[in-house]
Amino acid sequence: MTAKALEDGLQAYPWRFKFAVLMLALAFGVIGWRAIELHVLDQAFLAKEGNARMLRVEKVNAYRGMILDRNGEPLAVSTPVLSIWANPGEIEDAGYVARQLAPLLKLSRKALERRLTKNAGKEFIYLQRHLPPAAAEAVLDYELPGIYGQKEYRRYYPAGEVAAHLVGFTDIDDSGQEGMELAYEEWLRGEPGEKLVLKDRVGQVIKDLQSLKEEKPGQDMKLSIDLRLQYLAYRELKAAVTEHKAKSGSLILLDAKSGEVLALVNQPSYNPNKRSSINHTNLRNRAITDVFEPGSTVKPLTVAAALESGKFTAASKIDTSPGYMRLGRNTIRDHRNYGVIDLETLITKSSNIGASKLALALDQDALWNMFSQARLGRDTGSGFPGERVGLLPYHENWREVELATLSYGYGLSVTVLQLAQAYTAFANQGQLQPVSLLHSEDIAAAETVMLKANAQRVLRMMETVVSDKGTGSRAAISGYRVAGKTGTVHKLSEGGYQADKYLSLFAGIAPASNPRIVAVVLIDEPGGEQYYGGEVAAPVFSRVVYDALRVLNVAPDDLPIRSEGVADREPKSEDDRV
């Protein structure tokens, strides 16, 4: 079009030209205003909306602290895993997703489809927790809309059922549920962190943009147990419970010098790595949470109370004839008539009448005071969840039968751990050691329970229990002097004491010349003809403590040149007994 034609057009249609110019001006004005609106007025709002669609704050799970044995062997560790989760609102075809993923997740296709459909209005549901990384990556490789992976940690227990009752386990969210995992949850768990990530339209993380909060790993914890001794104790206890067809069993090894628990096992046990198959009746740490009447295992404390009173010496004589005695309507019996015996023979033969006569000859609170100072019926301070304190009854006016039965271990209740702690007083020259489930280089201050001389006297008396003359000869250990005490207790039920159900016990110390280990073995309801503590529990003590002394490189104190027997080592005078 020529300039003349344009000029003619403007003259012929002036209103059209003005209209076109006006429209163009309005268009440019709108565009300009929109640009100002987007880049100036609404910039913050639009940036926020964009970030809401592309940026996400994700939790960074913290690594849970390890649980180790005293030598640094792992008992509980956390391994990285991936959990598969879904945003059902982003899934258009739940049937297709279910067909693809069900085989990989080992789920029912129909059940998975129903779950996705039922939760269509939700933004987050777990499909499968704690998958191995390779299995999870196979799921994520499909790049299905609405299907995501989340990094987590799964607890693994290398020792399995061997240390299960002490270590415990965590739930699927890595929170402690039993044992030391529960007791020290705050110490172990750590604090999760946060990070800002950029995601694409299907929710896949494209880039980590910024760490908003650093995660704090949990702290490691070193237990007092020695995993080598734990395996030895577990093997022997399990074999004994199986052999005697017993209901259950417990065994504790204590370091006689520090009070640290070197091994703690129970039967039956469970595998914390297979939680779906756990029988909840097997979760109890029976050595700490179950109470029982200790029977004759407390007779050394009864003798110690007699010596402490000053009314008796090691040479004092007690007439146990004719082998039984009546207190009101109650009859107390010995296995047979031992006649006139000294305190050593009382322990050697485990005389109920001898113990009863000692208790009745003392001030009425003397025996209770000794048991209480030995922390029977009191908290050991172990810190284990659900620990029982047992029962040590006190009476303003004791009946004779109450004092008598208390002297040989009836009428009170204790745990295996309490009984083991009480025996540290004999192993440490009258000093009772605090017990600990945690390893420490420092030895806690002990508590004086009895005079050094009296503790040594009673320890020497307990050596005769393991001789051919005593009730616990099967607890003997080749090359080592052993002191201990057997116990065979009728079980108590709602209808009274049961004539055919027993607890078999042995509590002992080795080597007797310089104690290193205190051990208590309890077998609950052994079947068959053998049920005495000397027959059932003592052999377990012998095998476990023999192996433990060798593992700990404890030198023998009963070499062949001195193998004549406990009887040949007996003191020839009162002065020799200290």
Distance CA 316, CA 415 (A): 32
CB contact set of 338 (below 8 Å; sequence gap of 6+): 320, 323, 345, 349, 351, 353, 354
Query: Per the structure block, which two tokens stand in for 92?
Result: 């258009």
* C-alpha–C-alpha distance, residues 332 and 401, integer Å: 9
Closest CA to 63 of 44, 76, 50: 76
Residue 164 DSSP SS3: helix
The Cα–Cα gap between 45 and 53 comes to: 13
Strands (E), 460-535: 483-493, 496-510, 517-524
Is residue 296 part of the annotated active site? The answer reads: yes
- CA distance linking residue 177 with residue 62, whole number of Å: 18
Q: Which of 477, 506, 480, 501 is nearest to 491 (CA)?
A: 501
Residues paired with residue 267 on neighbouring β-strands, in sequence order: 249
Element (H, E) at 21: helix 14-36
Residue 435 phi, psi (nearest 5): -95, 155
Rounding to the nearest 10 degrees, give the CA dihedral for residues 415, 417, 421, 424. Answer: 120
Q: CA 391 to CA 52: how far, in whole Å?
A: 62
User: Cα–Cα distances in Å, from 67 out to 75, 335, 352?
Assistant: 5, 48, 45
Catalytic residue among 83, 248, 269, 296: 296
Q: Give the residue ranges of DSSP H helices in 64-178.
A: 94-105, 109-118, 133-140, 164-167
> Given the structure tokens 């969210």, which residue do they identify?
173
Q: Which of 321, 328, 481 is nearest to 404 (CA)?
A: 328
Beta bridge partners of 252: 264, 520
Q: Are strands 221-222 and 67-68 parallel, antiparallel or unpaired?
A: parallel
| C-alpha to C-alpha distance for 374 and 139, rounded to whole angstroms | 60
Distance CA 151, CA 196 (A): 15
Catalytic residue positions, numbered: 296
